[in-house]
Amino acid sequence: MTHPSCAHPDFAGKKKRTRRERFLAEMEQVVPWAALLAALSPHYFPNASGRRGRPPVGLERMLRMYFVQQWYGLADEATEDALYDSRALCDFVGIDPRCELVPDATTLLKFRRLLEKQELTKTIFETVNAGLRERGLLLDKGTLVDATILAAPSSTKNKDKARDPEMHQTRKGNQWYFGMK
């Protein structure tokens, strides 16, 4: 006896909406897709010559695939695999895997390189930021730092009568700690 997969049409009426589906629905509303497509379309020329090779992929589909890659921190191959695995991602990108191919990792790589070479990532950032400002929101680039404080005794009762030079004092809230990250 075989069981239907989660991508099976029988699951179309499922009751629970996943976090991923909620996030993608919110991004669908927040990201200014029309403005992005207008800004990027003069720079995007997929292989539409009819020659051999991969079929051309539209700008919106590639842009949505690029966003999925960035939001979930995926490599090119992992993004392709995620689209095969997730119905929510396929719906967001606009692919029906039952009757069309998912753009492969090489296609995404070439698109990403195009964005980087022509400095279009800055255009994307500015366009999204402008759309968010219209809604009273703000997006800023930054770095996420994950640090755990490992406590250590601050004592100098050792052979050298000195504290470890790699250890420092830091404050978390109103509490002071001696240790290292």
Q: pLDDT, tens digit, for every residue of 109-136?
A: 999 999 999 999 999 988 988 888 887 7
Sequence-ordered list of residues with C-beta below 8 angstroms from that of 24, at least 6 positions apart, any chain = 88, 89, 91, 92
Q: What is the Cα–Cα distance from 30 to 15, expressed in whole angstroms? A: 24
Choice between 173 and 61, residue whose per-residue pLDDT is larger = 61
Evaluate whether 65 touches 89 at the Cβ level (below 8 Å): no
Q: What is the pLDDT of residue 132?
A: 82
- pLDDT, tens digit (0-9, with 9 covering 90-100), for 150-180: 556 666 666 777 777 667 677 777 777 766 6
Q: What is the pLDDT of residue 17?
A: 87
The confidence score (pLDDT) of residue 162 equals: 75
* Alpha helical stretches, state H, the chain: 19-30, 33-40, 59-72, 76-85, 87-93, 105-117, 120-134
Mean pLDDT (the chain) is: 80
What's the confidence (pLDDT) of residue 1?
41
pLDDT value at position 176? 73
Lowest mean pLDDT among 56-60, 75-79, 107-111, 152-156: 152-156
User: Which pLDDT score is estimated for 97?
Assistant: 79
Q: How confident is the model at residue 140 (pLDDT cuts 50, 70, 90)?
A: low
